[in-house]
Amino acid sequence: MSSAKSTNRLIYLPLGGAGEIGMNAYVYGYGEPDKERLIVVDLGVTFPDMDTSPGVDLIMPDVAWLEARKDRIEAILITHAHEDHVGGVGHLWERLGAPVYAREFTAHIARLKMADVGLPDGTVHTVAAWPHMSTFGPFKVGFIPVSHSIPESAGLVIDTPAGRVIHSGDFKIDHTPVVGDPFDQALWAEAAKDGVRALMCDSTNVFSPAPGRSEATLAEPIEELLKNATGMVVATTFASNIARLKTIATAAEKAGRSVCLLGRAMRRMVEAGLETGVLDGFPKTILAEDAVDVPRQNLLLLVTGSQGERRAASAQLANGKYMGLTLKEGDTFLFSSKTIPGNERGVIRIMNQLSEKGVDVIDDRGGLYHVSGHANRPDLEKMHDIVKPKMLVPMHGEHRHLREHAKLGEAKGIGSIVAVNGMMIDLTSNYPHVAEYVETGRTYLDGSVQIGALDGIVRDRIRMALNGLVVVTLIMDENDEPLGEPWCEIQGLPETGRNNAALVEVLEGELNQFLMRADDKILTDDDKLEKELSQVARRVAQSEIGKKPEVMVVISRLS
């Protein structure tokens, strides 16, 4: 099957998702160095925040390295339909151009992503599950079903001339996942039985010491809660957790409650589940306009916004009204979710708004109403034991997760390496080692433009937010003399400082003083003049308001 010469190598290169949780993008290559044929696994996004990326719409891996090797990409494979795995496929596809493959439900969502940016359906191909395998250049790949918090998640069985490697994808070991494939240990053992060169493995929950719990354990407590609630019940979870939606909706039906889905993502996911056949037996839902007429104690709203997102249904309900529906004293709001670190403030804001309305908030404090979609530490060890890989490369984790997971592997005698974004790992020999360091980073979708995280654009926004802005306008006449005085405008700065003097007036006065003393060498040189005026403005502001603002100087020369 293989004409592999000794110079050929098998490489693994994370471009996103290794050293962070989010925007997954992994590359496998086989061939002579710098001539490897490539497959890309997942093209995900991560979400912006005010601290690091104000105003940005989405964050994606920088695929410049791949783009420069576009002709070597055989395929883009998507393991499952979570945003951090499929969210970037539409935005990045034109830069990479290769065909996209996924199992049916995931392909359905990928096609929606393509449609969102005006790309045709034909870019995405549906593949059957392992043991079916597809050939992509030197690779043969099978999508092996695995349980996770979204239906039809898959690991990848990747045959290469250097042997078989397995990419776990995001997974948990769940034998009763309610919707989607149960974890099938025999199937995984079968895939591993002839030896596995390397396992690339999810690391998210390596610090969780207890075995993970099954999705099915939630049905009883949620039924109990819905039966005992007296008013309206609102439940929120990730829209893509279709099993959870089914558990909650079924519990509502049993408690004599009509189910209403609120939020675009929620409806889109349930429709995708029904259309692709992964979801059946979902209770009949009603529309928001009909829900308003249902007695509160007979209603369940399933809403988006479990992470406190400002525009989602949950935030709007907490804020007042959504689609004609309002919450009031005696209603119950269930967070069937975990708050992702960094989202705490938004979630707490909603909890307090609900408290103000007299709504009882139930979160996952006790672990009754939510289970994780990722394998905990003992489950990771179980996976190692099933796959018995020669090498382990932890992925899908921050540095601390990868390091801990690699330690776990080493302790078992599996050759393990901490590989973060940009570390190209050679898997050809008996121990994983770094072959090259590749430049990686983040690409921001900002409005309709893709910008680099380090382009300075977002840095300038952060500086304006921290420091405020002074704009100095100056007109220079034909003789390179100031025409009148400089003019200042401020944005994001207090109008008065020390001694209640108007900041703008003090600035203009001092800038004018400076100009009156300035010599021709400065007055005739825009760069010098700009620099000097900025310095004066900053110094004056520091003295007046205790702050050094950003300064923009606009010089107009009449000539």
The reply to whether 448 sits near a copy of itself by the rule CB under 8 A is yes
User: Least separation, in Å, of the C-beta of 523 and a copy of itself?
Assistant: 18
Other Cβ atoms closer than 10 A to 448: 7
Q: How many CB atoms sit inside 10 A of residue 356's CB? A: 9
Determine if 348 is a binding residue for a copy of itself (CB under 8 A).
Answer: yes
CB of 454 to a copy of itself, least distance (A): 13
- DSSP character for 296? G
Among 352, 429, 513, 535, binds a copy of itself (CB under 8 A): 352
460 binds a copy of itself (CB under 8 A): yes
**361 lies in the binding site for a copy of itself (CB under 8 A):** yes
Beta strands across the sheet bearing 550-557: 487-491, 469-476, 550-557
What is the per-residue DSSP string for 376-390? Answer: BHHHHHHHHHHH-EE
Site for a copy of itself in 379-438 (CB under 8 A): 398-400, 403
Closest to a copy of itself by CB, 254 or 547: 547
Residue 366 has a CB neighbour count (10 Å cut-off) of 9
Nearer to a copy of itself, 284 or 345 (CB): 345
Question: Which residues, including other chains, have CB under 8 Å from residue 380's CB and lie 6 or more apart?
Answer: 201, 202, 203, 205, 206, 405, 408
Judged by CB under 8 A, the number of residues near a copy of itself is 64
Cβ distance to a copy of itself smaller for residue 210 or 292 = 210
By CB under 8 A, is residue 483 in contact with a copy of itself? yes
- 3-state SS assignment for residue 539: helix
CA–CA gap between residue 326 and residue 144 (Å, rounded): 44
Report the distance separating Cα 517 and Cα 505, nearest Å: 19
Residue nearer to a copy of itself on the CB measure, 135 or 355: 355
Q: How far is the CB of 237 from a copy of itself (least distance, A)?
A: 20
Contact between 461 and a copy of itself per CB under 8 A: yes
- The yes or no reply on residue 550 touching a copy of itself (CB under 8 A) is yes
Q: Least CB distance from residue 558 to a copy of itself, whole Å? A: 7
Residues numbered 38-57 forming contacts with a copy of itself, rule: CB under 8 A: 49-51, 54-55
Nearest CA-CA partner of 496 in 544, 540, 538: 544
Residues 495-524 touching a copy of itself, rule: CB under 8 A, are 496-498
CB 148 within 8 A of CB 212: no
Candidate segments 210-218, 278-286, 290-298, 464-472, binder of a copy of itself by CB under 8 A: 464-472
Residue 545 binds a copy of itself, judged by CB under 8 A: yes
Q: Does 64 bind a copy of itself (CB under 8 A)?
A: no
Residue 65 near a copy of itself by CB under 8 A: no
Give which of 460, 44, 378 is closest to 206, Cα–Cα: 378
* Closer residue to a copy of itself in complex, CB, 413/484: 484
In terms of phi and psi (left: phi > 0; alpha: psi -120 to 50; beta: otherwise), the region of 493 is beta
In the numeric block, which tokens belong to residue 361?
Answer: 């908030």
Residue by residue, what is the 3-state secondary structure of 76-101? EECCCCCHHHHCCHHHHHHHHCCCEE
> Using CB under 8 A as the criterion, which residues of the chain lie in contact with a copy of itself when the complex forms?
19, 49-51, 54-55, 207, 341-342, 344-345, 348, 351-352, 354-356, 358, 361, 365, 398-400, 403, 446-449, 451, 455, 457-458, 460-462, 464-469, 471, 473, 475, 483-484, 487, 489, 491-494, 496-498, 542, 545-547, 550, 552, 554, 556, 558
